[in-house]
Amino acid sequence: MEKLIVKGGTRLEGTIPTSGCKNAVLPIAVAAAILGDGVSVLHNVPNLTDVNTLCAVLEGLGATTKLKNSTLYIEPINHLEYEAPYELVRKMRASIYVLGPLVAKLGKAKVSFPGGCAIGPRPIDLHIRGLEHLGADVTVQQGYIYAQAERLTGTEMYLMGQHGPSVGATANIMMAATLAKGTTVIRGAAREAHISDLAHFLNAMGADIEGIGTSVLTIRGVKHLHGTEHSVISDDIEAGTFMVAGAITNGDVYVEGITERQLPAVSEKLVEAGVELDWDNNGVRVTTPRELRGIDVTTEPFPGFPTDMQAQIMGLLCLASGTSVISENVHTDRFIHAAELNRMGADIMLDGSKAVITGVSKLSGAPVMASDLRAGAVLVAAGMAAAGETVVSRVYHIDRGYESLEEKLNNIGANITRVND
């Protein structure tokens, strides 16, 4: 097992590129492999563990995939299997994306409950409810989801859960509805940029989707979808992580390949905390000309502050003057990283779904452990700002969502080494 050794006290300075968006690639690859007739070519695809895992899932279903130089070639499944067994999907939650497309294409699916990061329960009830609205008969038995329908039928549904819109369910039901008979209207749809990217990709395949980027999606079913070529959008969460890394090291960093409209709430909160952002058409320059100050942050569905940036902003606020409060409204158990930051000298108190952070003057290097993808990222960022050496274990979490993280950071001044544990 590998770990990262981060030597602190470094200042980041220079340009750092943003890779393609993992959360866009995953459903797009599913759509290309299951729904399309003909080869699809995806550009700007990051070489990540999650992408490779999903390709293995699709190949297990009968597809052919090849990732080379950030381009993913997908030959759709000729003899499509309707079952995605546990040994294929256990490593990542995004495997649930195959459920809707399999039912739409084959009329039946058997998909194991997926695995992924241990950040609390993330139910799939909205996925099931959406398929039932489309006319599928769905049952859950012995860890598997069984769904079948002679042909899905378009309808109107409200796809909102306890904590707001569901990105995963929106993607799953939108994909399924492209081949349904008639028109489907999804109200309460997720509005994240990677959902819009998926919708644009489906339209390029021959789907008929309107309302892209809004909370109401209208999908008119078609009989067939074809292969196409598409360039995936840049990864907003990776870019946000680099923005925090620049700020926490008091650096001067240009994050390349991102737009302000992808990160409205993150940009607003960083500025409120004292970070200076200078946007242009191709990225943002991040500097910290004044002392960081404590702020309050509440995670919400897009365009609110993303839960996937909660850990990173917590690390930054550990070094801000005064007191900050983070309210986690999306994944209420997502505070495991707080204990690891406290090991580095932070002052974080947890109270249910709230974290109260009292700023400290410095952090100190320590052995820490990544509990999930974004927790790993904040520990690396905090380690760069800390005095001494930080050893981050369980870096396989980081590799799920950050392409060549230490290489990119080292290129702008970090001192990070990957070693075998």
Q: What is the DSSP string of 305-351?
A: B-GGGHHHHHHHHTTSBSEEEEE--SSTT--HHHHHHHHTT--EEEE
Residue 74 and residue 141 in one domain? yes
Residue 261 and residue 137 in one domain? no
Residue 219 and residue 363 in one domain? no
List C-alpha distances in Å: 213 to 228, 261, 404.
21, 12, 30
Residue 200 and residue 239 in one domain? no
Q: How far apart are CA 121 and CA 105, in angstroms?
A: 29
Predicted confidence pLDDT, tens digits, the chain (421 residues): 899 999 999 999 999 999 999 999 999 999 999 999 999 999 999 999 889 988 988 998 889 999 999 999 999 877 777 777 677 676 666 778 899 999 999 999 988 876 544 434 446 888 999 999 999 999 988 888 899 999 999 999 999 877 789 899 999 999 999 999 999 999 999 999 999 999 999 999 999 999 999 999 999 999 999 999 999 999 999 999 999 999 999 999 999 999 999 999 999 999 999 999 999 999 999 999 999 999 999 999 999 999 999 999 999 999 999 999 999 988 777 899 999 999 999 999 999 899 999 999 999 999 999 999 999 999 999 999 999 999 999 999 999 899 999 999 999 999 999 999 7
Sign of CA dihedral 56, 57, 58, 60: positive
DSSP strand pairing (323-327 vs 296-298): parallel
Residue ending a domain, among 231, 249, 265, is: 231
Q: How far apart are CA 297 and CA 93, in angstroms?
A: 26
What is the number of domains present in the chain?
2
The mean pLDDT of the chain is 92
Residue ending a domain, among 166, 200, 231, is: 231
Q: What is the largest CA-CA distance in the chain?
A: 63
Predicted pLDDT at 112: 81
State the DSSP code for 140: E
Q: How far apart are CA 309 and CA 383, in angstroms?
A: 17
Residue 78 and residue 14 in one domain? no
State the DSSP code for 130: H
Please indicate whether residue 318 is annotated as part of the active site: no
Residue 121 and residue 254 in one domain? no
**Number of neighbours of residue 140 by Cβ within 10 angstroms:** 12
Residue 99 and residue 176 in one domain? yes
For position 89, which CATH number holds?
A: 3.65.10.10
Residue 335 and residue 243 in one domain? yes
Q: Answer whether 114's CB lies under 8 Å from 53's CB.
A: no
Residue 248 and residue 217 in one domain? no
Residue 192 and residue 273 in one domain? no
What residues make up the domain containing 188? 22-231
Residue ending a domain, among 184, 212, 231, is: 231
Q: How far apart are CA 68 and CA 149, in angstroms?
A: 37
Task: Kindly state the tokens that stand for 270.
Answer: 């960083």
Task: Kindly state the tokens that stand for 366.
Answer: 């320590």
Euclidean distance between the first and the last CA atom of the chain, given in angstroms as a whole number: 5
Q: How far apart are CA 214 and CA 195, in angstroms?
A: 10
Q: How far apart are CA 102 and CA 77, in angstroms?
A: 11
CA nearest to 259, candidates 238, 284, 278, 277: 284
CA nearest to 104, candidates 179, 182, 37, 202: 179
State the DSSP code for 293: B
Helix, strand, or coil (residue 39) = coil
- How are the residues of the chain apportioned to helix, strand and coil, as percentages rounded to the nearest 5? 35, 30, 35
Predicted pLDDT at 118: 43
In the numeric block, the tokens 């995605």 are attached to: 84
Helix, strand, or coil (residue 255) = strand
pTM for the model stands at: 0.92
CA nearest to 124, candidates 177, 173, 184: 173
Predicted pLDDT at 160: 87
Residue 295 and residue 161 in one domain? no
Residue 11 and residue 67 in one domain? no
